[in-house]
Amino acid sequence: MKLGVNIDHIATLREARYRGLAWGEPDLVEAAALCERAGAHGITIHLREDRRHIQDEDVRRLRQSVRTRLNLEMSNTPEIVDIALRTRPDIVCIVPERRKEVTTEGGLDAHGQVESLTATRRRLNAAGIEVSLFIDPDPAQVEASARIGAQFVELHTGAFAEAHRTDPSDGSELDRLVKAARLAHAAGLAVNAGHGLTVANVPRLFDVPHLVELNIGHHIVSRALAIGLPAAVTEMLNAMKLYAG
């Protein structure tokens, strides 16, 4: 199981002081390199429509510097799709986006957007970019993702993470993830997962089959304040290493 490190909130720290300026710290290229040297298998960034953290120039610079795998999270809007086609990340993950949300609050409604998502998927694939859809662990969304022709789904683990926090013995959200992963794999989709994951709850995900990659950001950046970014990446990799698939 691979680890993609989301560095959005490193950009959040920079924007708190240097918003609107062409320079500032911390530097995302340096942060991404630290994550890669610590063993991360990829770097994830979310170019939001309101540019609250990641900026267009960040996408360009990281595309030039990332040596592992650059994953661009994005909404299915013409402006952002055009940026993806120009910068050509290795993979994009199409996510829902609402301006007022603090972070992505749920999965994409792939079932209700088959036609538009299929058109975007075709354009991105034609440019050599793999496509993932960030969805809730729901059979209808998995089946729609397969019809759209995505290469990956990323299962939204937010409800699982909240259930683990409030009642670790409650396995209902874990069961949903297990069933969705099995269905996605049977449909020919590769399976990623992410949202709200920590070193405490990741081992519970070992029951979920077919996971290729976890995308984790906030917890790693938070831990980095105490132990440093490379150590936080290593800590997460150690939490993941016994996964058998």
**One of 36, 53, 73, 164 is an active-site residue; which one?**
73
User: 164 an active-site residue?
Assistant: no
* CA–CA gap between residue 224 and residue 204 (Å, rounded): 23
Is residue 19 helix, strand or coil? coil
Catalytic residue among 46, 53, 111, 219: 46
* Tokens (6 digits) for 2: 């691979």
Examine the residue annotation and report whether 143 is marked as an active-site residue of this protein.
no
Report the chain's terminal Cα–Cα distance, integer Å: 8
Give the SS3 label for residue 99. coil
Q: Is 73 a catalytic residue?
A: yes
Look at residue 241 and give its three-state secondary structure: coil
User: Active site residue: 111, 195, 213, 219, which one?
Assistant: 195
Locate 227 and state its tokens: 């132990």
Quick one: which of 240, 242, 239, 220 has its CA closest to 231?
220
List the catalytic residues. 46, 73, 195
